[in-house]
Amino acid sequence: MDISGTLALAQDEAAIRAALARYCRGIDRGDPALIASAYWPEAEDHHGVFDGNAHEFARWIVPHLAKEYTLTQHLLGQSLIQMSGPDAAAVETYFSSRHGHARNGVRMVEMVSGRYIDRFARRAGEWRIADRLLIVDFVFDMPHPKSIVEDIPGSIFGCRGQEDAAYGLFTAQQG
């Protein structure tokens, strides 16, 4: 592959990773528009608890997570990206997520790790998810006692919505 082909591939992979990051940020901040921006309008999401249109998933998942969990955090690992044509890619991305919740009055943290199996499509120069399958590899649920860090004055903790400190850094267009 020549240098222009290598650069084009690097740009495509960066755009795919940016869509994956928008999805995770949208999930953790409770932003359905940001979640939906990672998917094409007719995309499907096969997520275990939800199986259907990805934009409907984006609208459904935010209140579902707010009802079940106090906070979530999704971390992305490596992505294997295989171009399957000029405007299509098969992508497997490892993830790890944490979900805070309470059970019988005890603070808990549920840790899930697995993989997103995505089919990406490029349209008008933009890469988005066309189809997603969630695969869960591990789930752990354990007590999460209060930490002394929580009592340190001035500590800033993440939260859902635009009250999260990171929202002041990014414009809506950047996601």
pLDDT, position 171 = 60
pLDDT, position 68 = 95
Domains in the chain with CATH codes = 3-150 (3.10.450.50)
pLDDT, position 131 = 98
Q: How confident is the model at residue 75 (pLDDT cuts 50, 70, 90)?
A: very high
pLDDT, position 54 = 98
Residue pLDDT, tens place only, 5-62: 889 899 999 999 999 999 999 999 999 999 999 999 999 999 999 999 999 999 999 9
Residue pLDDT, tens place only, 54-71: 999 999 999 999 999 999
**122 or 170, greater pLDDT:** 122
Residue pLDDT, tens place only, 115-167: 999 999 999 999 999 999 999 999 999 998 888 888 898 888 888 888 888 87
pLDDT, position 175 = 46
**pLDDT tops 80 at residue 170:** no
Range scoring the smallest mean pLDDT among 89-98, 152-161, 163-172: 163-172
**pLDDT tops 60 at residue 173:** no
Residues 6+ apart with CB under 8 A from 67: none
pLDDT, position 145 = 87
